[in-house]
Amino acid sequence: MKTFSAKASEVERKWYVVDAADRSVRLTGKKETQKTYMSFSGYVGGHKTESVQQRRERRPELLIERAVKGMIPHNRLGRSVFTKLKVYKGDQHPHEAQQPILVP
């Protein structure tokens, strides 16, 4: 039995819109006050920590992007899949020409 690998020209791509406005994100095993995100700028003293509430106020789309990035494979395929993810704050997006399908 041969393994089927679809070529990029053979794949029919579709756009989907998922409205998460009234849905709460539950982090497994931690309350939102305990979960922190860390970043490092590369300079001395460049460590920054941020709670979920602070990140939600600053850039809420980063919460979804980081959660999805942790779920996909950590290799070349995962990186190419992640580039296709578009997350926007609010219900406005610049992709009406692609005729996205609304996912309930």
Compute the average pLDDT of residues 1-29. 82
Cβ(35)–Cβ(53) under 8 Å? Answer: no
Domain layout of the chain by residue ranges: 30-103
The predicted-structure confidence for 72-83, as pLDDT tens digits, reads as follows 999 999 999 999
CB within 8 Å of 35: residues ≥ 6 apart: 27, 51, 52
Q: What is the rounded CA–CA span in Å between residue 21 and residue 26?
A: 14
Q: What is the assigned CATH class of domain 30-103? A: alpha beta
Task: With a cut of 70, say whether residue 40 has pLDDT above it.
Answer: yes
- Which tokens go with 43? 């300079």
> pLDDT digits over 42-71, tens only?
999 999 999 988 998 999 899 889 989 999
- How does residue 100 score in pLDDT terms, banded at 50, 70 and 90? very high
